[in-house]
């Protein structure tokens, strides 16, 4: 499957960044409840998140690694969604900055 990658920087430290991202996922679920379904997420120690969801019928999955000064997201897309990769990356980056309370 094709992949995508998004990385954003922050000055929050790992613990604060994880807390903000955990709370933000509930807002995303509420805001996009008709567009995003089958949301699965699992946080582990060390600031790692494994996730999957369906958006517009496409299954998207990946992982997030939260570091002291950055957040990296790596994901996979079905072939049918490759043409939307740029828009998906742009939207995810925007939402990460929003969740962290920083600007990009």
User: How many CB atoms sit inside 10 A of residue 76's CB?
Assistant: 15
- Evaluate whether 52 touches 60 at the Cβ level (below 8 Å): yes
Q: Please list the ranges in the chain whose pLDDT falls under 70.
A: 104
Q: Where in the sequence is the domain holding 31, given as residue range(s)? A: 3-100
What CA–CA distance (Å, rounded) separates 16 from 73? 17
pLDDT at 45: 86
Q: Domain count of the chain? A: 1
CATH number (domain holding residue 44): 3.30.310
pLDDT tens-digit profile of 54-82?
887 888 899 999 999 999 999 998 888 88
């Amino acid at each position: 499957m094709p992949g995508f990658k998004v990385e954003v920087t922050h000055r929050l430290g790992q613990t604060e960044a994880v807390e903000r991202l955990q709370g933000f996922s509930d807002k995303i679920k509420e805001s996009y409840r008709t567009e995003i379904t089958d949301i699965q997420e699992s946080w582990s120690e060390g600031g790692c998140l494994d996730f999957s969801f369906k958006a517009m019928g496409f299954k998207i999955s990946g992982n997030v690694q939260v570091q002291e000064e950055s957040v990296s997201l790596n994901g996979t897309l079905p072939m049918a969604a490759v043409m939307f990769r740029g828009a998906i990356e742009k939207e995810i980056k925007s939402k990460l900055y929003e969740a962290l309370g920083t600007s990009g």
